[in-house]
Chain A
């Protein structure tokens, strides 16, 4: 398959990009608003073209543990789900983090808590960036704000996952998953045949047996391992922060928003500029690692920051931590599947400016 321009849903773009990125396996379970990923893959049937395995599991628990097994073989494997399903996956995710395995998890977020709604939300930010499962660990978290990024981040996520032997999450939402946009698809990559030295692929005479585990009953050794993980997360924070800025050079007030909210803020920003308000926007692309340094710098030049999220206020805590009291920080959010309009975001910025 060559490079190609297509009109696709965000979910379909993830599926097609996974095939083209040379993924070895996808394991999933249906849930709205992301079932198109599994459906698309089943229809595309990449098993016969690239050899990619696609399997509908009996639950999200099984699906993520299939990902665990596949990742332990050094394979490029992934799963996707939406919020309630991602909660079920947390067990597997913490084992994968603890066993230091690469994989991709896509969360097309819907409103919660509980069964909540099938409409888009950004209320899984804490779960995605602060752990989600038990124990001290982090995922690498990428937040796409377009169908193009839904496609592009699949390969990026795999690259980061293998570079750091760490699970990576694409934190999307029902709006980006469902909306259709033009998307450039990359040419087909061949699936890798490399046998990774740590992978459980059968022990040849030439090496020690490989053991993939997250268990160490010796507290001193476990703590040493925890330190190793922390060092890895620091390295990720050092090297992998990604963000985008709009009109920040002369900005007096800053929107901070990711994903769907960032798109809305982009429009609100134009409306603000039309009214003579010097607003800017910082869009974090990686939510872990978070663009703390850049926000801290911007705190020296702006008069305040407004975090706009489709949640009760989760990412805003990271904005506050980043600026560490240097500037005013507030939050505006809608919940339950409600998407704010640019006008209402602008109104909120105005009242924030008034103080």
Chain B
């Protein structure tokens, strides 16, 4: 093995993975093992492969992914906390030919931005909402989110989420699936290669549906927050599989008739 050189490794025939042309060289600020970075990469690959760069407008949230615009080479607007779907609504209405997406965390989308989420989906705006559900407020240091699981500890539920006083975790995807305005609602993960491939296919479908003006596409990514959960990346993925997936089962919730 010792005689394999760097030049051997980077030979085109040996390459199994290439960074998307649309991913910038900026060093990501995400914690090691965080799902945000993988979700960005998948989205960038779809935008590149579908040749959407010149007509994409992305809306970033307030949350760990607020600086997403540093990493993907498309036009971006940075919204106030929870308001991304309102911005996206206007962008799409004013420029119907653009590919418009929001990228939002669970605090952003399911707490402070609930009204914007529900009504944007209810109006059936032709946008993609990419929802990163890590069950916690990552950016502000691990506080309880609407999606935090029962009994799960966070800095504002130090004894675990108590349903009687703190309410139950919210399944946003199931809620928006009930609205006639959504055309495609699906739940994914990025902790395995298979999960990544499925998410990529889902985003490609969302692009197609947006081109066909079929309504709001809502893709949830059940993700991890090693820092907020106070776990190693490996532990966090295991914990996610054992605890998050049973409550937020992966798979399609609503698909349009072909």
Q: How far is the CB of A135 from chain B (nearest CB, A)?
A: 12
A213 contacts chain B at the CB level, 8 A cutoff: yes
A25 contacts chain B at the CB level, 8 A cutoff: yes
Instruction: Please pick, from A58, A69, A212, A213, the residue contacting B90 in the complex, using a CB distance under 8 A.
Output: A69
Q: Mark B48-76, 1 if CB is under 8 A from A, else 0.
A: 00000111110100000011010001111
Q: Mark B66-89, 1 if CB is under 8 A from A, else 0.
A: 110100011111111001001111
CB-based contact B116/A65 at 8 Å: yes
B119 contacts chain A at the CB level, 8 A cutoff: yes
Q: Mark A267-292, 1 if CB is under 8 A from B, else 0.
A: 00000000000000000000000000
Counting contact residues on chain B (CB < 8 A from A), the size range is 20 to 34
Chain A residue numbers with a CB within 8 Å of B57 are 73, 200-202
Instruction: Please pick, from B54, B55, B59, B80, the residue contacting A91 in the complex, using a CB distance under 8 A.
Output: B80
Q: How far is the CB of B49 from chain A (nearest CB, A)?
A: 16
A27 contacts chain B at the CB level, 8 A cutoff: yes
B206 contacts chain A at the CB level, 8 A cutoff: no
Instruction: Please pick, from B69, B75, B93, the residue contacting A53 in the complex, using a CB distance under 8 A.
Output: B93
- Closest A residue to B87 by beta carbon equals A69
If over half of B's interface residues share one DSSP class (helix, strand or loop), that class is named, otherwise mixed; here it is helix
- Closest B residue to A55 by beta carbon equals B93
CB-based contact B75/A209 at 8 Å: yes
Q: How far is the CB of A249 from chain B (nearest CB, A)?
A: 49
CB-based contact B73/A73 at 8 Å: no
Chain B residue numbers with a CB within 8 Å of A95 are 79-80
From B66, B94, B95, name the one whose CB has the most chain A CB atoms within 10 angstroms.
B94
CB-based contact B119/A212 at 8 Å: no
CB-based contact A212/B94 at 8 Å: no
B115 contacts chain A at the CB level, 8 A cutoff: yes
CB-based contact B79/A68 at 8 Å: yes
CB-based contact B54/A66 at 8 Å: no
The distance in angstroms between the C-alpha atoms of A68 and B115, with both chains bound, is: 17
CB-based contact B115/A201 at 8 Å: no
A354 contacts chain B at the CB level, 8 A cutoff: no
Chain B residue numbers with a CB within 8 Å of A215 are 66-67, 78
Instruction: Please pick, from B53, B69, B86, B118, the residue contacting A66 in the complex, using a CB distance under 8 A.
Output: B86
B91 contacts chain A at the CB level, 8 A cutoff: yes
CB-based contact A24/B74 at 8 Å: no
Chain A residue numbers with a CB within 8 Å of B90 are 25, 27, 53, 55, 66-70, 73, 75, 77
CB-based contact A73/B94 at 8 Å: yes
In chain B, positions 91-117 with a C-beta closer than 8 Å to chain A are: 91, 93-95, 98-99, 115-116
Q: How far is the CB of A90 from chain B (nearest CB, A)?
A: 11
Chain B residue numbers with a CB within 8 Å of A188 are none
- Closest B residue to A205 by beta carbon equals B54
Chain A residue numbers with a CB within 8 Å of B59 are 69
Known: A25-B94, A65-B116, A201-B98. A57 touches B75 (CB 8 A): no
CB-based contact B66/A204 at 8 Å: no
The distance in angstroms between the C-alpha atoms of A73 and B91, with both chains bound, is: 7
Known: A201-B57, A209-B73, A210-B75. A69 touches B80 (CB 8 A): no
Q: How far is the CB of B145 from chain A (nearest CB, A)?
A: 20
A102 contacts chain B at the CB level, 8 A cutoff: no
From B55, B67, B116, name the one whose CB has the most chain A CB atoms within 10 angstroms.
B116
Chain B residue numbers with a CB within 8 Å of A25 are 90, 93-94
Chain B residue numbers with a CB within 8 Å of A202 are 53-57, 74-75, 95, 98-99
The distance in angstroms between the C-alpha atoms of A65 and B77, with both chains bound, is: 11
Chain B residue numbers with a CB within 8 Å of A73 are 57, 90-91, 94-95
Q: How far is the CB of B27 from chain A (nearest CB, A)?
A: 14
A5 contacts chain B at the CB level, 8 A cutoff: no
CB-based contact B94/A75 at 8 Å: yes
A319 contacts chain B at the CB level, 8 A cutoff: no
Chain B residue numbers with a CB within 8 Å of A70 are 90-91, 93-94
The distance in angstroms between the C-alpha atoms of A180 and B78, with both chains bound, is: 41
From B54, B77, B98, B99, name the one whose CB has the most chain A CB atoms within 10 angstroms.
B77
A62 contacts chain B at the CB level, 8 A cutoff: yes
Chain B residue numbers with a CB within 8 Å of A220 are none
Can you list 30 A-B pairs, Cβ within 8 angstroms, ordered by A?
A: A55-B93, A57-B86, A62-B83, A62-B116, A65-B80, A65-B83, A68-B77, A68-B80, A69-B59, A69-B88, A69-B89, A69-B90, A69-B91, A72-B77, A73-B95, A77-B90, A91-B83, A95-B79, A200-B57, A200-B75, A201-B57, A201-B75, A201-B95, A202-B54, A202-B95, A202-B99, A203-B73, A203-B74, A209-B73, A209-B74
Question: A residues within 8 Å of B by Cβ?
Answer: 24-25, 27, 53, 55, 57-59, 61-63, 65-70, 72-73, 75, 77, 91-92, 95, 99, 200-205, 209-215
